[in-house]
Structure 1
Amino acid sequence: MFNRIDVYPTHRHGDLWLRAGRPQPFGATIVPGGINFAVFSRHGVDCTLVLFHKGEAQPFIEIPFPDAFRIGNVWAMVVFGLDHEKIEYGYRMDGPHRPHAGHRFNRHDILLDPYARAIGGRPRWAAALDKADPMPFRGRVLIDDFDWQNDRQLELPAEDLIIYEMHVRGFTRDQSSGVKFPGTYAAIREKIPYLLELGINAVELMPIQEFDEHESDFFNPYNGQKLINFWGYSTIGFFAPKASYAATGHLGMEADELKALVKLLHRHGIEVILDVVFNHTAEGNEKGPTISYRGLDNKTYYMLRPDGSYQNFSGTGNTLNCNNPVVRNLVLDALRYWVSEYHIDGFRFDLASILGRDAEGHPLANPPLLESLAHDPVLGHTKLIAEAWDAGGLYQVGSFPAYGRWAEWNGRYRDVLRRFLKGDAEQVGEMAQMVKGSPHMYLERGPTASVNFITCHDGFTLHDMVSYAEKHNTANGEDNRDGANDNNSWNWGHEGATDDVGINVLRERLMRNAIAMLMVCQGVPMILMGDEMAHTKYGNNNTYAQDNELNWLDWRRLASHAGLFDFFRRCVAFRKAHPALRRRYHLHERDMIDSGFRDITWHGVKEGRPDWSPNSRTLAFMLCGLHAVLMPGRTADDHIYVAMNMHWEPHTFELPRLRDGRRWHLFADTYRPAPADSCDPGNERPLRTQRNLPVGPRSVVILVGK
C-alpha cells in the first residue's frame, strides 16, 4: 500500500521531519501525518515555530522556517509526528524594530497565532499568573469533531426575536444560582428552563472570545483588591472560546462544552448571538504587552499615526486596521468559523463604527469590511447587529452602512424611552417614532433594523435607573471619573435603597412601565440580564472590572421581586401572542385593507386627538390587528390599545370605538399592584365601560380589542 506523496517529509530539524506547507488556511491545521502551520507577516524577515509540551514552561523545540517555506508573505510548514493533543505552539518573528515607522518586531517574544482555534494558559478564571512563563497564551490545535446531529442555525425571523443580553460568568456565578458549575457554559444549560419561562428566544452573550481578565491596572479603594477585566471587551484570540468559562476548561474541552450549550439552546428554540470585539485588541497602547498582532506585523494590524503611535478610536489604547485586506480577511475568517463550527446565529459588533474607518481613521463612504460581511455567502443567514458608534466621536445610529443586512443597537430609542419614562417635556413626538420602529431613522430598512433597549451591560440596570440620580463608580478605582454622566435617570426622592414604601412602589411601577413600553414598540426588543428580578449594581454604571455581586445575579431576588418577574414574563408572552407588535415593514398610518381603521391611530385623553405639545406627557395609540394579514404567514390579530401616562397626575382616556362586536379587554395596568397588574395573554378581563379608561399617574395600560 502506497502513502500519498504529500506526506513525505523533505527536511529535518532535530528529531522532527518537515516539508513546505500550504499557505492557506492560516493557523494550525491537521493534515495527513502532521500539522500544517501557516502564519502571515508582510514586514517580518524571519520566522520560527516554537513548540511546547502541553503545560510545560519551556519549549521542547524551536524550528526556524527555511526560506523555501515562505510563500509571498506567509510562512507555511508541515511538521510530522506531532500529537496534536499534547502540544502548544507559538512563533518568533524577527524584523525591524523602528517604532516611529510602525515596526515593533522583537525576536525574543513568543507570539500567539491570531488564528489559534484554542488558547491554553488560562484554563481557570483569575488564577495566579506565572510571571516567568515566556508565553502566557499558547495556541492549541483543535479537531472540530463535535457531533451536531441535525443542528443548524435556527434562522428565526428578526421581528420575532426577544433578546436577552447575558454575561456567561455573571449569570450563574453566585451560589444562589444553585447550579453544579457556577459561572460556566455548562451552568447556562441548567438555566434553560428559566429562560423558557421568561419567554426569550435569543441570548446575546457578552464576549466569550479569549481575553485576559488580569488586564486591569486599577485597585478597589475600599478593600485594596486588584480589579480585573470582567466584561471581556479586550480580545486576545478571535477564534478561541474563553477556556475559563468552561467547567472543562482545565481539560481542554471548552470548545465542546460551548457547542453542547449552543446545541441545547437551539433544541429549545433559542438563538445564540455573540458580542464580538474587532475594533481593538488586548495589546493596548505603546506601553501595553506584546501578545500576538504587534509582534507579528504591527503596521498591518493597527491604525497608526505618522509617528508610529497608535490611533485610539476604541478608547482602550489601540484600534485594529479593519479595512486592511489582511485584517478584513481575519475578521471574515473568524466569523465564518464561529458560524460553521459553533452554529452561531448572529453577532453584535462592539463599537462597530470603527469597522468603517480607513487606515488613517477617516470614515469610509463604502467600507469594504461592512460590505463584505453583509454579502458573505457563509454569513448569508446570520444576524448582524452594530453598536453604531465609537469612542472617537463617530455616531451612526440610523445611518450605519447597512447594505440591506445590518441592524443597530438603537441608542436613541434608549434615550427617548428613559426621558419619556422620567416625565421629561418635549418627548411625546419622539416617543411616537419609537413606537413605530423609528421610521425616521430606518425608513428603507424596516423596523427590524432597530434593536430596542432601555438598559444594557453598559450603564445602569433597570432597577438603578429608577433608584439613582448619579453614578456611584468609586469602587472602580478611578475616582468616579469613569462611566457615563448623562444617564437620564432619577431617584424619586432618595438616592439608592430606601425604606420609604411610597418611593419603592413608584420605582416598581416605573420598571413595569419600561418593560411594557419596550414590548409594544415595533423593532427587536432586548432585555438586560437580571432586570426581570430588579438586579442592582448599587449605582455603579460601569462595572467592567467588578467580579462580585455587582455583576453576579442574586437569584434570591426572584422571590423578593416575584411580581416584577411575572409582569416581565407576561409582557414577553403578550408580544409573542400578537403579530401586530412584530411587523417586518413600517406602519403606514393608513387603512391598507379597508378595515375601517388605519394600521395605527394616535390618541390622547381625547379619542383621535393626541397632544403633541411640548409639555404633553400622555400618549395613546391603537394598532389595527386586521392589518397583520399583510405580513407573510400571518393571520388577523386583535386590536391593541396602549395608553401611556407619564404625568404625575391621573388622566381619563377616551377609548376608540370598536366594530364587529369586539370589546376592550384589560391585559395590563401598571398602576395596579401585583398580581392584578397583568394577566396571562388570552385571559384578559373585559372592561366594564368601553368608552373611558382611567389611567393612574406615571403608568401604562394595555388593552386588547377582541
Structure 2
Amino acid sequence: MALPDRLQITAGSPSPLGASWDGRGVNLALPAGRAERVEWCLFETPDAPREALALTLPGRTGDVRHGYLEGIGPGTAYGLRVHGPWDPARGQLYNPAKLLLDPWARALAGTLRWDDLLLAHVPGTPADGERQPDPRDSAPCMPRALVVDERFDWRGDTPPATSLRDSVIYECQVRGLSARHPELAPELRGTYLGAASPPIIAHLQSLGVTALELLPIHAHVSERQLVERGLSNAWGYNTLGFCAPDARFSSDPSGRSGAQVNEFKQMVRQLHAAGIEVILDVVYNHTPEGNQDGPCLSWRGLDNPGFYQLSASDPRYNVDHTGCGNSLRTTSGPGLALMLDSLRHWVTDMHVDGFRFDLAPALGRPGPLAEVGFEVFQQLRDDPQLAHVKLIAEPWDVGPGGFRLGSFPAGWSEWNSHFRDDLRAFWKGDSGKRAIMATRLAGSTSELGHGPTHSLNLLCCHDGYTLRDLVSYEERHNQANGEDNSDGHAHNLSCNWGAEGPTDDAGVRDVRGRVARSLAATARLALGVPMLLMGDELWRTQQGNNNAYCQDGPEFHLDWELDDDAAAMLAFSRRLARLTAELPSLRRDHGLTGNSHDGEDGQLDVTWLGQRGHPVSERAWKKQDVHVLGMLLAGAPAAGQVLLWLNGGSESRRCQLPPTAPGRWRVLLDCADPGAEEYDLASAEAAVTVRDRALLVLRWRAD
C-alpha cells in the first residue's frame, strides 16, 4: 500500500509487543537488549527492494523500544534495522545493514532468498577469529512483515472443547491432506480451506476424528542446504514467524495480500462447526538462524543474548539442544515473552484448541548446561488464556538427559514413544512383551504417573514409517532426501514379512494386512488418547522413506484414488471408529488397576487372562515365550463386559472364554477377517480361535 505523504512518529506504548493497528495507526514495540537505536523501515510495497522511509522508534521502556505512527494500517510492509555494539565476544551482533523481521509479526510477505548477504558477519571469517560486521544490505533477500487487521466475523464460533478422554487426534500436513482430492477445485487443493472442505470433513468424521493436529503452519523457511539440493522443508519445522500463518497454504502463496490470516481463521471456523478441533504443532525450541555461522534474520540482530542460549564460557557460540544449531531461551526474557504471546495469539485471535510442542524439554532448559526444568510447563498450564486448551509434549530433545517421558505436569499429555515401540515389538512377535502390553492397554498410568489421558498413544507419526511401510520395509529407503540414505531412524521395529517393499506374494500381503489391522486396532482400543497418522487409513506409502521432511511432491500427498487394498483399509478403519464409539469402557479418565471394582456387581475393572481363560499369575507374567493376552474389561450391565484377545505369535490359538453369568459372547471385530459381520457365539461355546498375529474383540451380554 502507498505510504502517506507525511508521517510523524510518537512514543507510543511498550505493549503489546509487535505491530498492532488500532483503527487510526500502528504501534510497534520490540525488545532490543543493548541496542542503541531501532529503525522502523516502511516499504511502499512488499516487493520494493529498499525501504521508502526509516523512522527511529522514540520510546524506550526498559529494553523495549516503541513508537506509534498515525495514518498507516493493515497491509503496510515493514522491517527493522537495529544499531548497537558489535561485540561477538559478549554475544552482541548488532548490524544495521541487515534488515530484520519483527518476531511478533502477524503475517509475512515474500520469500527468503538464501545468500551470504544475510550474514551479520563478513563471510568466510571463523567464529573464533576477529569477525567484523558485513556492511552489505540484506533487504533484497528478506521477506517483509505485514501489519494485519485482526477483525474477523467468527459467526458465533465456539470451540468444540472435546474432553481428552473422548478425543481422537489426526496428525496431518495441510498440503498433503487435500492436494490430490478429486472433488476439490484446484485452487482449494493443498490449502487451509481445502483442509476444512466438506469432503475432508466428511472423511474425518467417518473416522471418529475430533481434532486435526497440523504439522507446523507458522511461517517457515526451508534450510539453505535443502534449497541448494532442489528440495524444500515440507514439514515446516523451521519457524520464521511464530505469530504468522504460513502463506504457502493460502490462495496467495506469496503472502503479499495477507490472505493467509483470514483463510486460516475460516478453516478453524469451518472445522469447529463440524465438531473438529485444531491443534498446532509448534517449534519454539530453535529458529532458522542456525549456529554462530548462520544468518541474521530477526532474533540475532535484535537481542542475541536475550533470545538465545549462548555458551557461558564463550558467548560467540550458540548452545544446541535441538540438533538445529541453536536453542531459544524460553524460560525467561524476550524468548519466554515471545512464546507466551505467540500461544495466546493463536488461542485468542485464531481460535485454535491446543498445541503439540516439538522437542519440549529444550523449552525448559534455562542455560547451556542446565537440567530440564518444568516450571515453564506449569506456567503454560496455569496461564489463564491457555487454561482450557490441550497441551501436548514431545518429551525429548537432543541435549543431555533429554528423554523425559513421564516428567511433564498434570494437565499435559505426552507423545508416548514407549507405547509405539512396545506395540510394534509385540505384533512383530518379539519375546517377553506380554506384560508390557498390559501396561500399554491400561493407559501406561503406572509409568507416566497420571491418568490415561496423559498418554498420547501414537503408533505412527510424520517422523517415521507410515503404517503400510511399517509392515513392508525393514530398511529405510531415504535416497530421495539427498543424504546418502544416512538420515532417518535406523531402529524402527518394523518387519517386511518376507519381501522388502511391494510384492505380489499373496501370503506376505495377507500377513501384512493382518498385522497392520491388529496394530491399528490396538492403538485405537488402548486407554489413552489415540493419534492417527494422515493416510494410514488409506494404506498410504512413502516407498520406505522414514524421514520425508523434504518431500513435498504428489507421491507424498494423500492419494484419494483407492485401490482394493486402500478401500479395504478405509472400511476397516471406519468400522474400528464405530466400534470404539460404542464401547464406553475403553474411554476413562482414571487408570485400570485390576484391584478396583466397577459397577454394582463388584466386577474388577480389568482382568488379565491367559489362553486358558484364567487370570494371569505373577509367575506367568514372567514367561518370555508367551504371545497371547486377554483383557477383560468390566462394564455397566447395559453395556456388557468387553474382552480383547491379542495373539502376537506365529500360530493360531484356541482361547478359553472366562466364566460369566447366563448370556452370550458376541464377536464384534476380528482383525484376521475384517469383512466378517458381527456374530454371536453359541451359549455353550467355551473357547474362540484367535488367528496368528491378530486381535479379536468380543462383548458379553446377559440373556
Q: Report the TM-score when normalising by structure 2.
A: 0.91
Alpha-carbon contact 1:285-1:318 (below 8 Å) kept: yes
Unaligned runs of 5+ in 2: 119-136
Q: Which residue of 2 aligns with 1:505?
A: 510
**What is aligned with 1:669?**
670
Aligned counterpart in structure 2 of residue 232 of structure 1, from 236, 242, 252: 236
Find the residue that maps to 2:268 and give its secondary structure.
helix
Q: Take 2:47 and 2:323, find their aligned partners in 1: how far apart are those partners?
A: 36
Letter in 2 for 1:350: D
User: Helix, strand or coil: the match of 1:448?
Assistant: helix
**Which residue, out of 55, 62, 68, partners 1:78?**
68
User: Which residue does the alignment assign to 2:97?
Assistant: 108
Partner amino acid, structure 2, of 1:569: R
Residue in 2 that maps onto 1:656: 658
Q: Is the 8 A contact 1:204 1:273 kept in 2?
A: yes
The count of residues paired between Structure 1 and Structure 2 equals: 664
Shift of 1:395: 4.1
Matches of 1:45 and 1:140 in 2, distance apart? 25
Q: Distance in 2 between matches of 1:269 and 1:117?
A: 27
* CA spacing shift, 1:101–1:178, aligned 2, 3 Å: same
Instruction: Say if 1:14 and 1:106 are closer, same or farther in 2 by CA, change over 3 A.
Output: farther
Using the alignment, how far apart are the partners of 2:638 and 2:293 within structure 1? Answer: 62
Corresponding residue number in structure 2 for 1:646: 648
Structure 1 residue matching 2:660: 3-state secondary structure: coil
Specify the alignment match of 2:494 in structure 1.
489
- Equivalent residue, structure 2, for 1:572: 577
Q: State how far apart, in whole Å, the 2-side matches of 1:348 and 1:81 are.
A: 39
Residue 405 in 1 paired to residue 411 in 2?
yes
Which of 317, 326, 332 aligns to 1:318? It is 326
Unaligned runs of 5+ in 1: 1-12, 627-634
- Superposition deviation, residue 179 in structure 1: 4.4
Q: 1:337 matched to which residue of 2?
A: 345
Residue 629 of structure 1 is matched in structure 2 by: none
Partners of 2:112 and 2:294 in 1: how far apart? 23
> Aligned runs of 1:66-215 on 2, under 5 Å?
68-85=58-75, 87-122=76-111, 134=140, 136-174=142-180, 176=182, 178-180=184-186, 181-190=188-197, 191-213=200-222, 215=223
Partner of 1:246: 250
Match of 2:695 among 694, 700, 705: 700
The match for 2:541 is 536
1:460/1:239 CA distance change after superposition, 3 Å: same
Matches within 5 A, 1:243-642: 243-250=247-254, 251-305=257-311, 306-307=313-314, 308-367=316-375, 369-402=376-409, 404-443=410-449, 445-557=450-562, 560-590=565-595, 591-610=597-616, 611-612=620-621, 613-626=623-636, 637-642=639-644
User: How far, CA to CA, are the matches of 1:303 and 1:144 in structure 2?
Assistant: 33
For 1:198 and 1:167, the matched residues in 2 are separated by 17
What is the Cα-based RMSD across aligned positions, in Å?
Answer: 2.2
Comparing 355-364 and 265-274, the one that deviates more: 355-364
Task: Letter of the 2:383 partner, please give it.
Answer: D
CA distance in 1, matches of 2:290, 2:580: 43
**Cα distance in 2 between the residues matched to 1:399 and 1:151:** 35
Structure 2 Cα separation of the partners of residues 274 and 366 of structure 1: 21
The two structures have a TM-score, normalised by structure 1, of: 0.90
Given that 2:631 and 2:645 are in contact with CA atoms closer than 8 Å, whether structure 1 keeps it comes out as yes
**Would you say the 8 A contact 2:607–2:615 is kept in 1?**
no
Deviation at 1:593, TM superposition (A): 3.8
Return closer, same or farther for 1:580/1:558 CA change in 2, 3 Å cut-off: farther
CA contact (8 A) 2:184 2:194 kept: no
Question: Map of 1:212-223 to 2, 5 A cutoff?
Answer: 212-213=221-222, 215-218=223-226
Find the residue that maps to 2:34 and give its secondary structure. Answer: coil
Q: Which residue identity is paired with 1:186?
A: L
Matched, 1:50 2:41: yes
Is the contact between residue 112 and residue 143 of structure 2 (CA under 8 Å) also seen in structure 1? no
Q: Is the 1:123–1:249 contact (alpha carbons within 8 Å) kept by the matching residues of 2? A: no
User: In the alignment, residue 675 of structure 1 is paired with which amino acid?
Assistant: G
Residue identity opposite 1:197 in structure 2: S
CA deviation after TM superposition for structure 1 residue 63, in Å: 3.0
SS, match of residue 219 in structure 2? coil
Q: Could you tell me how far apart the structure 1 residues matched to 2:91 and 2:250 are?
A: 38
**Which string of whole-angstrom CA distances, capped at 9 and with x for unpartnered residues, describes residues 485-518 of structure 1?**
1000011111111111110111011110011111
Structure 1 residue matching 2:334: 3-state secondary structure: helix
Task: Give the superposition deviation at 1:137.
Answer: 2.0
Amino acid corresponding to residue 621 of structure 1 in structure 2: M
Rounded Cα–Cα distance in structure 2 between residues aligned with 1:179 and 1:620: 49
What whole-Å deviation, never above 9, does each CA across 1:457-512 have from its counterpart, x for those lacking one? 00011001101111111111111111111000011111111111110111011110
Tell me, yes or no, if the aligned pair for 2:217 and 2:236 is still in contact at 8 Å.
yes
Q: Residue type of the partner of 1:98? A: D
Structure 2 counterpart of 1:617, which letter? H
Q: Is the 8 A contact 1:509 1:699 kept in 2?
A: yes
Aligned residue in 1 for 2:24: 33
Q: What's the secondary structure of 1:487's corresponding residue?
A: coil
* Stretch deviating more after TM superposition (554-563 or 490-499): 554-563
Contact 2:24 2:73 in 1 (8 A): no
Per-residue displacement from partner, 1:19-63 (whole Å, max 9, x unpaired)?
Answer: 111000011111353211111111211111100122332344333
Indicate the SS of the match to 2:220. coil
Aligned match for 1:20, one of 11, 35, 40:
11
Task: Output one character per residue of 1:526-577: Cα deviation in whole Å (capped at 9) or x when no partner.
Answer: 0100001111111110000111145211112365421111111111221122
Say if 2:215 and 2:281, in contact at 8 Å, map to a contact too.
yes
Does the 8 A contact of 1:48 with 1:91 survive in 2?
yes
Instruction: Give the drift of 1:400.
Output: 2.2
Maintained 8 Å contact 1:279/1:320? yes
Which letter does structure 2 place at the counterpart of 1:440? S
Distance in 2, Cα, partners of 1:488 & 1:176: 35
Note the C-alpha offset of 1:378.
0.6
The question of whether the paired residues in 2 share the 8 Å contact of 1:473 and 1:483 is answered with yes
Partners in 1 of 2:669 and 2:62 — Cα distance? 66
Change (3 A) 1:38 1:254: same
